[in-house]
Amino acid sequence: MPPRFVVTGGRPLNGTVRPAGNKNAALPILAATLLAEGPVDLANVPRIRDVEMMIALLEHLGARVEWTGPNEVRVDTAAAVAKPLDPELCARIRASILLAAPLLARFGQVVLPPPGGDVIGRRRVDTHFLALEALGASVMVGDRYEIEARKLKGADVFLDEPSVTGTENALMAAVKAEGTTVLRNAAAEPHVQDLARMLVAMGAEIEGIGSNTYLIRGGRPLKGTRFEIGPDHIEIGSFIGLAAVTNGQLTIEGVRGDDLRATLIGFDRLGIRPRLEGNRLTIDRDQERRIRADLGGHVPKLEDGPWPAFPADTMSIAVVAATQCTGMVLIFEKMFESRLYFVDKLIGMGARIVLCDPHRAVIAGPSPLRGGTVESPDIRAGMAMLLAALAAEGQSTIHNVGQIERGYERIDTRLRELGAVIERFDG
Active site residues: 118
For residue 366, whether the previous peptide bond is cis, meaning omega lies within 30 degrees of 0, is yes
- HSE-CB at 368 with a 13 A cutoff on CA atoms is 4
Q: Which residues have a Cβ under 8 Å from the Cβ of 402 and sit 6 or more positions away?
A: 2, 3, 49, 376
* Identity of the residue numbered 120: I
Q: CA 24, CA 380: separation in Å to the nearest integer?
A: 13
Dihedral, 291, 296, 299, 301 alpha carbons, nearest 10? -80
User: In a 3-state reduction of DSSP, which class is residue 25?
Assistant: helix
Q: Any idea what DSSP says for residue 223?
A: B
- C-alpha pair distances (Å), 415 with each of 181, 286, 423: 45, 20, 10
Q: CA 151, CA 104: separation in Å to the nearest integer?
A: 9
Contact (Cβ atoms closer than 8 angstroms) between residue 17 and residue 239: yes
Cβ neighbour number for residue 200 with a 10 Å cutoff: 17
Q: CA 154, CA 375: separation in Å to the nearest integer?
A: 46
Cβ neighbour number for residue 187 with a 10 Å cutoff: 23
275-277 and 280-283 beta bridge pairing? antiparallel
Q: Any idea what DSSP says for residue 99?
A: G
Q: CA 189, CA 230: separation in Å to the nearest integer?
A: 12
Q: CA 385, CA 319: separation in Å to the nearest integer?
A: 10
Q: CA 227, CA 172: separation in Å to the nearest integer?
A: 16
CA-nearest of 4, 8, 17 to 243 is 17
CA-nearest of 130, 167, 125 to 25 is 167
Number of residues written out for the chain? 427
Q: CA 229, CA 259: separation in Å to the nearest integer?
A: 13
